[in-house]
């Protein structure tokens, strides 16, 4: 009898896990069936056309065009997308470029508005630029175009008057237009509601007086981006610009004038500085700035110091500085030796990336003594490359003098503990 009882107990221990497994399998099957029933519901087809067109507008046009194979409903739905992107990369694909542009722009139903147009052309075709492009932009203008971007090799002379006549335009970007451009801006334009403007003048003739007149008449402009090459004087004056990005290549700039009372953010990048650069103007509302200066020589420190004095009232500053590869020995590139150090009474956040050799480390320490309300600090060591242009350069002379060698990062400097560590870095008691 005892043996029978023990046998039943062993069987019960074996049966319980089996029952549990059966229950788990039944639960999993029911979940699978419920998921399978869910998959049978075509929620996408229940959406209205307006919402589907909005979704397709977030996709690149070639990707949105692939949805035409889904069903009859999607066959022409992508052509009504409010955002169109057409790219001409391969000279053998000119027919595909024209076909796509025809379907999305030229043959577009007038009841479908076109809000954004992005064109990229990397090969020059005379008929394309002289006849087809003007027709394309004229049609886009009639559809209520608001945002226009053109990148690549473009002949601007026949299309620039059309662009400047688009009344509904809110943003215009010609950031990297290549080609032999011999023209000036049209004297008349219609886009008085333009809020964002991006222009690249690497190969475009810039007439400073007419450009200044253009800015003065753009009374809604808030963002401006310029890429300029080889210009001696630049004057930017506007009552509405809040964000400015300025990229300058070449060492011919003598005068930089910024009269921007509403400017809040400045991004200045240069490949080279002219030693006698004169910077002046008014930017009383400036709060943050990113300053990136490359290929600095010993004689450029005067221009750097002038620039720091010009923006000394801001709250956030990022400095990205790099010596020229021609310099063999460490030089001062941040502060001018023997001159007054700029005061930063409102600076709260500071980021500095440069080679923290002995000279630069001392200059940064002097600069930090004039930042009374600083809350966060990050110093990043960027060791210059040893190239054939700097023969005789000793690596040990360019090593980091930071306490932690590669970088220093302090936050919440208004707290006591962090403040004491910060004072120790400054060499104070």
Is residue 57 over pLDDT 50? yes
Dihedral (CA of 263, 264, 270, 272) sign: positive
Which pLDDT belongs to residue 4?
A: 47
Query: What is the end-to-end Cα distance of the chain in Å, rounded?
Result: 90
DSSP-assigned letter for residue 228: E
Predicted pLDDT of residue 334: 87
* pLDDT tens, residue by residue, 23-35: 554 454 455 444 4
Say which DSSP state 75 is in: T
Cβ atoms of 140 and 164 within 8 Å: the answer is no
* 235: nearest Cα among 215, 263, 251: 215
Please give the sequence-ordered ranges of beta strands (E in DSSP) within 203-287, or none if there are none. Answer: 223-229, 233-237, 243-249, 255-259, 265-270, 278-282
Average pLDDT, the chain: 80
Query: Residue 134 pLDDT > 50, yes or no?
Result: yes
Number of Cβ within a 10 Å radius of residue 381: 22
Q: What is the pLDDT of residue 223?
A: 96
29-59 as b/e: b if 16+ CB within 10 A: eeeeeeeeeeeeeeeeeeeeeeebbeebbeb
Contact 174, 203 (CB under 8 A): no
* Residue bearing the bigger pLDDT, 338 or 276: 338
Quick one: which of 77, 33, 37, 24 has its CA closest to 54?
77
Q: Report the range of poorest mean pLDDT among 105-109, 168-172, 343-347.
A: 105-109
Q: Sign of the CA dihedral 293, 295, 301, 306?
A: negative
Q: Which residue has the higher pLDDT, 269 or 383?
A: 269
Nearest Cα to 205, choosing from 258, 254, 156?
156
pLDDT tens for 85-111 read 888 887 788 888 888 888 888 888 888
pLDDT at 181: 53
Cα(44)–Cα(42) distance, rounded to whole angstroms? 5
Q: How far apart are CA 422 and CA 409, in angstroms?
A: 10
pLDDT of residue 211: 79
Query: Which of 42-51, 337-346, 351-360 is predicted least confidently?
Result: 42-51
Q: Is 145 exposed, middle or buried, given 0-12, 13-18 or 19+ CB atoms closer than 10 A? A: buried
What is the Cβ-side half-sphere exposure of residue 76, based on CA atoms within 13 angstroms? 5
Strand partners, 332: none
What is the CB neighbour count within 10 angstroms for residue 334?
24
Phi-psi region of 408 (alpha: psi -120 to 50; beta: other; left: phi over 0): beta
What's the confidence (pLDDT) of residue 47? 77
H or E element in which residue 293 lies = strand 288-296
% the chain with pLDDT above 70: 82
Give the pLDDT mean for 243-260: 85
pTM: 0.80
Nearest-angstrom CA–CA distance, 10 and 216: 94
- Residue 384 is predicted with a pLDDT of 75
Q: Find, among 88, 90, 94, 140, the residue nearest to 119 by Cα.
A: 88
């Amino acid at each position: 009898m005892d043996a029978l009882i023990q046998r039943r107990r062993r069987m019960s221990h074996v049966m319980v896990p089996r029952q549990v497994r059966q229950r788990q399998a039944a639960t999993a099957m029911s979940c699978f069936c419920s998921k399978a029933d869910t998959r049978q519901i075509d929620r996408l087809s229940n959406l209205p056309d307006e919402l589907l067109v909005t979704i397709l507008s977030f996709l690149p046009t070639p990707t949105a065009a692939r949805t035409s194979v889904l069903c009859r409903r999607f066959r022409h739905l992508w052509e009504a997308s409010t955002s169109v992107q057409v790219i001409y990369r391969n000279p053998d694909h000119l027919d595909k470029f024209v076909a796509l542009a025809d379907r999305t722009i030229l043959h577009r139903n007038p009841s479908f508005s076109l809000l954004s147009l992005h064109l990229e052309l990397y090969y020059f075709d005379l008929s394309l630029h002289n006849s087809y492009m003007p027709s394309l932009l004229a049609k886009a203008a009639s559809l209520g175009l608001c945002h226009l971007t053109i990148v690549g090799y473009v002949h601007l002379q026949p299309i620039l008057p059309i662009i400047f006549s688009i009344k509904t335009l809110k943003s215009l970007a010609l950031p990297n237009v290549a080609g032999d451009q011999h023209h000036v801006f049209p004297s008349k334009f219609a886009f008085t509601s333009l809020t964002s403007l991006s222009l690249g003048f690497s190969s475009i003739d810039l007439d400073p007086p007419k450009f200044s007149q253009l800015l003065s008449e753009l009374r809604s402009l808030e963002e401006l981006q310029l890429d300029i090459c080889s210009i001696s004087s630049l004057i930017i004056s506007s009552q509405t610009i809040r964000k400015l990005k300025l990229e300058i290549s070449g060492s011919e700039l003598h005068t930089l004038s910024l009269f921007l009372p509403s400017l809040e953010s400045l991004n200045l990048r240069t490949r080279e500085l002219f030693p006698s650069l004169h910077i002046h103007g008014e930017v009383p509302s400036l709060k943050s700035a990113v300053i990136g200066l490359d290929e600095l020589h010993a004689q450029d420190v005067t221009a750097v110091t002038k620039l720091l004095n010009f923006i000394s009232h801001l709250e956030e500053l990022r400095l990205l500085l790099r010596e020229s590869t021609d310099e063999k020995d460490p030089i001062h590139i941040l502060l001018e030796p023997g001159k007054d150090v700029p005061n930063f009474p409102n600076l709260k956040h500071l980021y500095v990336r440069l080679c923290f050799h002995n000279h630069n480390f001392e200059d940064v320490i002097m600069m930090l003594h004039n930042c009374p309300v600083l809350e966060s600090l990050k110093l990043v060591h960027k060791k210059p490359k040893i190239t054939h242009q700097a023969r005789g350069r000793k690596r040990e002379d360019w090593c980091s003098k930071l306490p932690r060698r590669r970088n220093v990062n302090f936050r919440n400097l208004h707290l006591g503990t962090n403040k004491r560590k910060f004072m120790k870095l400054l060499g104070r008691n």
